[in-house]
Every structure is written in C-alpha cells, then in structure tokens.
Amino acid sequence: MSSLFTPTDFHVRCATNKTSVTQIGARFFNVSEEQFSSWHWQMKHQVQSASDIKNIFQLSQQECEAFGALEHKFHAGISPYSVSLIDFKNENDPIRLQLMPSLRELTDKHGVPDPLQEVSNSPVKEMVHVYKDRVAWCVAQLCPVYCRYCFRKRRDGEEGLHFNPKIIQAGLEYIQNNTDIRDVLITGGDPFIANDSAIEHILRELRKIEHVEIIRFGTRTPVSLPYRITDAFADMLAKYHPIWINTHFNTAQELTPEAACAIDTLLKRGIPVGNQSVFLKNINDDENKMRILLNGLVKMRVRPYYVYHPQIVEGTEHLRISIEKGLDIMRKLRGTTTGFAIPQYVLDTPTGKIPISPNHVIGREGDFLILEQLNGKPWREPSIL
C-alpha cells in the first residue's frame, strides 16, 4: 500500500464506480471495509490532529501547524470518510478548504463568536427561539466533521453518544409549556451522532406534546458520515412521522455513492430530504460549480432548499464572499437549470432569515411594469389592478 493518498485512485475509480469511497478509505486507513463502514469506528477515529493522518496523507506544513495552533480555539475533527474524499495534491480541494484547519483562522479581525446572537435568543439552554411558532433545539454539540466556516464553531463540551439529560428535560418542558410551538428543529452540533435510543427518546416525548406538528432534523451525516443512516435507524425515525431532514452538501465532490445510498434509505421511509448549502470562497462560488452541485442533488432526489450567505463568524474571513457575488451567481443560475433545483439565497440574522434575490423589476412606464428578462432585455407587462 502506498504511504500517501493518490488522488487518481479515488477521483477516477470512484467516478467510474470501480472503487468506492469505502474501499479507498479502508485501504488507506489500513482497516477492513466492514470497520471503515461502521459509524462508531468513524467517530472513534475522528481526525483531530496532524499526527492522526500525516503518515497516510501529505499535509502541508501550514496544516500541520494549524492543527496545533488552533487546538484550544477552534476544535478540529474530520471523519475518516471525509478525509478520504480530499485530493491532497490540490491545495484548493473544496473539501480540504472546508474541513482542514488553517492558520488564516487566527488572522480574521472582523468575525464575532455568535453572529446570530443565539445565546441571547435562548430562553433555556440550547433552545433558540426566534420565530413564534418554531424553535431550533441544539441537543448535541459533537459533529462528525467540524466545518471551518460553521457559525457555531465557538461550541465545545461534547457529550458523546448520549445527550445531556438536563438539556433534554429543560427543552421538553419549554416546548410543552409553549403552545405556540408547532415545529421543532432538532440540531446541534449533529443530533444524529447520538445513539438510536437517545434520539428515539426525544421523538417519543415530543410526539406526546399535542401542539408539536412537525419534527425536523438538521444533520450533515449523509454528507460526512453516511454509514450512520442505517435501515434500522431510518425505520425508527419513520415511526414518528411527519419527520423532515435537511442536510448540507456544499460541493459535487460530496455526492458519492455512499451519500446517495444514505439519502435513498431515508426517502424509502417517506422522509423528505432538503439541502442547505453555504456560499464559500473557492469552493462553490461560481455558477458552474453551483449548477453541477444542484443538478446532482436533484438527481439524488434531494431538494435544494437554502443557500446561505456566509456568516461573519470569527475565524472565517478567508472563506467569505460578498453579497454582490452571491447575487450574481443566483442571477446566472436562473434559466440554466430546473427551476425547483434553484435554492433560495438567504442571509440569516438574529431576527430571522432575509431572502436575497436579484431584482428583475426595472421600473414603471405608465400602466406598464418593466422587468428584465433572462436574456437581459426589458419586458413590458401591464400592471392591472
């Protein structure tokens, strides 16, 4: 076995379905495919330091230094599955930029720890209540990967495969006592990193509350730890319908056969899956990259839901783009792919999400509204009351 990752092995063979991510990853981590495809093994062997992988993959000197320099500021953690997707011969590999720590995180002078003011919007610990009829319940803090742009990268204090019972009990009581809440988003961290019984306990208790109509999960496991989505787990979730899931693909490189299998396992149980991307510099910040991602998602039957403007989070300046660039990409997507494949571009704020859309209304001429067509030419539409 070669001591270093060979991008040709993965990116060519996987593309032709001759070799899966599981086969490639198992070979480079020197374990059986059965071990590599165990989500428990993946979490136990999460890459948290340069020493965890530097004898397998060719890290840059900057990356080696960043693991140590950021150890006590911004936690690092990458599932072996996600590491196996990275082309380490490409310094701008889109997954590498998302997940590998960078010394540039220490030089950001414009970010804040809590841009959405979640702490002040939490009436009880880890219960974010911004909209009257719904809450975001951060039941977990552990993640299979720690995205370098995450707006909760300030978080720590993982509980492992069990939830903190005090947080769960306080959250259930808050939801029970607030009859306006009809929609509960269970998020984190990543809530799917807990064991099945811990997740089912929450679902069982929520379904006892009459005014809770919808239960949603926010999870990146289909992207970064698809082995977590087992048949037994999906069967359990389906017992508590209506259940909805939003996941988080940012680049077409993440649309692997393993990810597609995880999605299919959920869809077969009647669980709709949506996707929320984030515009990220050098990762998906042009219309061609984004179009390929969106088309791939639709092919997997995942509905593109939101694309977020990146938050001004401490340590993320090198990954952010301007709103003007985001608007330009959204304008160019319109008319060049399926309409329902185009997500809504939004800016999240402490008071909720603000839609950001290209303005095609140019002005008015008498009784006519003038609009810009997709070819750039004006269209005159009667404004009839």
Cβ atoms 79, 144 nearer than 8 A? yes
Element (H, E) at 184: strand 183-187
Handedness of CA 364, 367, 372, 377 (dihedral sign): negative
Q: Are residues 161 and 252 in the same domain?
A: yes
Whether 19 is covered by a domain: the verdict is: yes
Strand partners, 307: 277, 345
Q: Are residues 59 and 159 in the same domain?
A: no
Backbone torsions φ then ψ of 127, nearest 5 degrees: -115, 100
Cβ atoms 314, 116 nearer than 8 A? no
Q: Are residues 88 and 145 in the same domain?
A: no
Q: Are residues 62 and 157 in the same domain?
A: no
Task: Give the domain CATH number at 335.
Answer: 3.20.20.70
pTM above 0.85, yes or no: yes
Cβ atoms 323, 331 nearer than 8 A? no
Whether 120 is covered by a domain: the verdict is: no
DSSP 73-115: TS---B-HHHHTT--TT-TT-HHHHHHS--GGGGS-SS-BS-T
Give residue 270's pLDDT. Answer: 98
Q: Are residues 138 and 54 in the same domain?
A: no
Q: Are residues 136 and 236 in the same domain?
A: yes
Whether 154 is covered by a domain: the verdict is: yes
Helix (H, G, I), strand (E, B) or coil at 56: coil
Q: Are residues 143 and 279 in the same domain?
A: yes
Domain holding 351, by residue range, is 127-355
Whether 110 is covered by a domain: the verdict is: no
Give residue 18's pLDDT. Answer: 44
Count of structural domains within the chain: 3
Q: Are residues 257 and 347 in the same domain?
A: yes
Whether 204 is covered by a domain: the verdict is: yes
Q: Are residues 97 and 160 in the same domain?
A: no
User: What count of other Cβ atoms lies within 10 Å of the Cβ of residue 283?
Assistant: 25
- Residues of the chain below pLDDT 50: 1-18
DSSP 185-233: EEESS-GGGS-HHHHHHHHHHHTTSTT--EEEEE--HHHH-GGG--HHH
| 293-316 b/e (C-beta count within 10 Å ≥ 16 → b) | bbbbbbebebebbbbbbbbebbbb
Residue recorded with tokens 């910040």: 285
Q: Are residues 179 and 80 in the same domain?
A: no
CA distance 69 to 65: 6
Residue recorded with tokens 């929450």: 202
CA distance 47 to 145: 9
Chain Cα centroid distance, residue 347: 16
DSSP 255-303: --HHHHHHHHHHHTTT--EEEEEE--TTTT-SHHHHHHHHHHHHHTTPE
pLDDT tens, residue by residue, 26-73: 999 999 999 999 999 999 999 999 999 988 898 999 999 999 999 888
DSSP 153-182: TT-----TTS--HHHHHHHHHHHHH-TT--
Whether 338 is covered by a domain: the verdict is: yes
Whether 33 is covered by a domain: the verdict is: yes
Whether 58 is covered by a domain: the verdict is: yes
